[in-house]
Amino acid sequence: MSATTRNNVRISGSGERAMMFAHGYGCDQNMWRYVVPHFQDRFRIVLFDHVGAGGSDSAAYDAGKYGTLQGYADDVVEIAEELDLRDAVLVGHSVSAMICALGSIKAPGRVGKLVMVGPSPRYIDDADYHGGFSRDQIEELLDFLSMNYQAWAAATAPAIMGNSDRPELGIELVESFCRADPDIAREFARVTFTSDNRADLPKISVPTLILQCSEDIIAPVEVGEYVRDHIAGSQLVRLAATGHCPNISAPDEVVSAMRDFV
Amino acid sequence: MSDQAPSFEDLYEDAPCGHLILSPDGRLTHANRTVSRWLGYEPADLVGKRLLDILSIGGKVYWETHVRPLLRMQGSVEGIALDFVQREGVVVPAFGSVTVIRNADDVAVEMRLAIFKAVERRQFEQGLVSARKAEAERGRLADESLRTERQNAELREQFIAVLGHDLRNPLAAFAGGLRLLARENLSERAGKLTSMMSGSAARMSELIDNVMDFAKGRLGGGIVLDRNAHAPLGPTLLQVVDELRTTHPDRAIEVELSIDEPVDCDRPRIGQLMSNLLGNALTHGAPDLPIRLTASTTTDILEIAISNGGSQITPAAMEKLFQPFFRGDVRPSQQGLGLGLHIASEIAKAHDGMLTATSSPEDTRFVFTMPLVRG
């Protein structure tokens, strides 16, 4: 199967260079719906879903391959190769900030610039490192998510489909939005929140922009600064937006910071 | 209060569910008495806090990664699990629904959150999660042991097939040597001994054939027939009887053949079937009573019947008679592998025929029938 089918790749916009967006844990490519329109006039836009999320092919899931973030990064590279992207701007949110970084390390010619939105190379505190979570908290978190996926899969999916105060989104979108294969999502959570990619940061060689939210409980300011300090020549922009998803809650701020960078 | 009509304010404050009203940036602007009581706060103490401040770690991350994006996209989310944390740090499992309220200009002005305590529901859900995990683990273990068992069985059968094949050549050399010896001018005692040894070699050869047929059947080969509708069957049957008479000179075998029609069969296989049945009669039949063999054809059927006197086969044993490795009650020295009758019935099936057994206190009788021509 081609990577573009497997990962439900959607292409829009026009331009010499490509801009490829990777969604984070918990959602799908719709995460970028408020950002993408601002770049469609100058870039060829590539959107995709990680395997197990949105419209991807869950049958392609392989516990071995996707047992580390590198497996997801390999998918990003495969998509870039199939579309023959060169010098593309790679934009990753949340865990996909690191996934895209790993992709840029593997295929340097394909990626020209990297935008990391709310990145964290490691979520668990370590000796001289503040990740924001203790090991116990991560265990509690994974238990909770596992349970919520159980309930999610059993009870809430139909409610989401039938419930739209915003009919302009359309039924198809509502049906697929943030839908995930519960078993894969559970594993993705484990892989995400137990990952440690600190050693990969210095290997990033492309110009990198880090977007750091205020009051982000998942990727605190110290973590953003750690990422900046370990990627040579990177720049960090602090957003006024609060929370972990500025691409949803404050798209204008994200767009403006990205425009200056690209 | 009881003598007045309930007010909407009472309904809101003391509702059976918790009500939280949040500003668009996620800070509490109202909390009803019910949720305040659950969480150990005065309602006023909750106002101004971030929702994230009263959620568990799982609740916080779920809210940020799932609920907020969903709210932005579709304006409401129903039936989500959210764990809250009491002032003292105790976790309160809850589930609830959230709606975003927009003004006339479609700008979000507040979020309304209704929650229910869900201690028991959460236990149920956790039970479900554990059960799912255990089920998956059980399934994995069962698959694994089934796979191992199949592999072992296949190895065993391959081993049998290889062993049987390798035993044939030395046994053939041994039997050939005995035949040469029998032509020498032997003493009476030596003559008897070589005859007994030839009988044993023939019996070993049959055992090997049965074992190999069984292994091939299990390995998917089945019994392959080499049919011939024209060659006569009678001489094959008589040859088998002669061999057995030679090796069992003290036993009487009465034969009555009336095969008047050609039989479309694999003659060596029918010989093997009959040899197995006669061998069975020799082993289990009363030594002082004759074994009777009749073979006859009607216009469309061949029937071979072999009967012997002796003790009746028990109903329990009758049920298992044709199963592989079934052995009746015999002296240990007489025990075979228990494949003879199984292979005989397989040969019968391969010929589209049937092998049946009946047993009474007077005699035990095996009857093989098959169509004269292929259907």
Give contacts of A169 with chain B, Cβ < 8 Å.
73-74
Here the CATH number for the domain that contains residue A239 is: 3.40.50.1820
Residue A43: the pLDDT is: 96
Enclosing domain of residue A84 = 3-121+198-261
The total of structural domains in chain A comes to 1
Does any domain span residue A80?
yes
Model-level ipTM above the cut of 0.85 = no
Greatest mean pLDDT range, A120-124, B117-121, B166-170: A120-124
Interval B5-57: pLDDT, tens: 778 888 889 888 899 999 988 899 999 999 999 999 998 999 999 999 999 99
Looking at residue A133, the DSSP 8-state letter turns out to be B
pLDDT band at B317 (very low <50, low <70, confident <90, very high): confident
- Block residue for tokens 């959210």: B82
CB contact under 8 A, A242 and B25: yes
- Residues of chain A falling short of pLDDT 50: 152-176
- A-B CB pairs within 8 A amount to 116
How many percent of chain B have pLDDT more than 70?
Answer: 94
CB contact under 8 A, B58 and A148: yes
Give contacts of A139 with chain B, Cβ < 8 Å.
none
Residue A163: the pLDDT is: 37
CATH numbers and ranges of domains, chain B: 8-117 (3.30.450.20), 223-375 (3.30.565.10)
Sign, CA dihedral B10-B11-B16-B19, equals: negative
Catalytic residues of A: 94, 216, 244
Does any domain span residue A53?
yes
Does any domain span residue A193?
no
Residue B213 · residue B342 · CB < 8 Å: no
Interval B74-93: pLDDT, tens: 888 887 888 899 999 898 88
Check if B120 contacts A (Cβ < 8 Å).
no
Check if A155 contacts B (Cβ < 8 Å).
yes
Q: Is B8 exposed, middle or buried (0-12, 13-18, 19+ CB in 10 A)?
A: exposed
* Residue A216, helix vs strand vs coil: coil
Does any domain span residue A29?
yes
Does any domain span residue A173?
no
Helices of type H across A165-250: 171-176, 182-193, 221-230, 246-249
A30, A154, A243 ranked by CB distance to B64: nearest: A243
State which H helix or E strand residue A4 sits in.
helix A3-6
Residue B261 in this model has a pLDDT that exceeds 70: yes
Residue B250 in this model has a pLDDT that exceeds 90: no
* Residue B29, helix vs strand vs coil: strand
CB contact under 8 A, B57 and A164: no
Residue B330: the pLDDT is: 59
Q: Which residue of A has its CA nearest to B69?
A: A248
